[in-house]
Amino acid sequence: MDHLWGIDLGGTKIEGVILENANHLNVIERMRIPTEAEHGYEHILNQINKLIELMADKAGHRPVKIGMGTPGVIDPKLQTLKNSNTTCLNGRHLKADLEKLTGLKYEMANDANCFAMAETNLGIVKEKVPNAKVVFGIIMGTGVGGGLVINGKAIYGRHGIGGEWGHIILDENGPDCYCGKNGCVEKIISGTALEKYYFYLSGKQSKLKDIVSNRKNDKFAKQTVQHLINNFGKGLSYIINVIDPDAIVLGGGVGNIELLYTEGVKEAEKYIFNHTLETAILKPKLGDSAGVFGAALLLQ
């Protein structure tokens, strides 16, 4: 069968999908189970295997190969996973270990690359900018990631870190990052970082959605939102100045904030090396399952 199997490995859940083909979102089967990462690396492998077996039972057939989106990337030289915030995966031969356990072949990519692949080939870019050749996908949630797609294919780069926008430095005096630097994009405008910034200003805990909705009545919320807009615009301009994509798609919880598409874009326009900003800045179409659809597309 030519069905495409994809798995999105997340810190809290593992999602699987079987697509009829690469041209349409015809879903044959779709399933989620918990990652249970607190039980360690071997348990995660067994959970992935469990999901595959459950899907195979329902679909009535097993795949030969599976596309997988991972938190972090496979190091091209060492063939081990690196840069994952699910830290028990780092330094492990995830691809080789899964192939041994399941008897299947795997094509792996960073989850942000999978997000960008899906929105380019099946989602909002295909709808709004159908002739786009260069697309950048951004995920802004508890962390920040990025993925680069050129002519429909994910670009990984020499070190496997193509598109890692989340670890560009916005403020060298900013908060410490787990990557060893200070003031990375992820530590400035992720949802987690913005909630911490609000707490620093106000001494109060608040969820990001409440911070945004209270910005007219709460001066600290207003400052936090302005902090987001200023730094988002600056960070976005780096992508545009270096890559100059046809479209940028914003995913993740922070990407739902409407002000990013108005005030955030105006802020980016101040910094780009052009008199106008013509890049399409788009909301995603595929929701939180874009990653698993993109993982399946790694097999096309």
Specify the pLDDT at position 294: 95
pLDDT tens sequence across 104-139:
999 999 999 999 999 999 999 999 999 999 999 999
253-268 pLDDT, tens digit per residue, is 999 999 999 999 999 9
At residue 181, does pLDDT exceed 70?
A: yes
Q: Phi then psi for 109, rounded to 5 degrees?
A: -150, 160
Percent of the chain with pLDDT over 70: 100
Which SS3 state, helix, strand or coil, does residue 215 take? coil
Tell me the average pLDDT across 144-154. Answer: 93
Measured distance CA(26)–CA(239) in Å, rounded: 33
Q: Average pLDDT, whole number, for the chain?
A: 95
pLDDT in tens, 20-56: 988 878 899 999 999 999 999 999 999 999 999 999 9
List the one residue out of 125, 151, 126 whose CA is nearest residue 138: 125
Given this model, what pLDDT does residue 258 score? 96
**How far is Cα 191 from Cα 170, in angstroms, rounded to an integer?**
16
C-alpha dihedral sign at 172, 173, 177, 179: positive
Under the banding of pLDDT at 50, 70 and 90, the label for residue 300 is: confident
pLDDT, mean of residues 83-105: 95
Q: Report residue 148 as tokens.
A: 């680069």
* Band of residue 1 on the pLDDT scale cut at 50, 70, 90: low
Could you count the other beta carbons within 10 Å of the beta carbon of residue 175? 15
Q: Are strands 13-19 and 27-34 parallel, antiparallel or unpaired?
A: antiparallel
User: What is the sign of the dihedral through the CA atoms of 127, 143, 216 and 226?
Assistant: negative
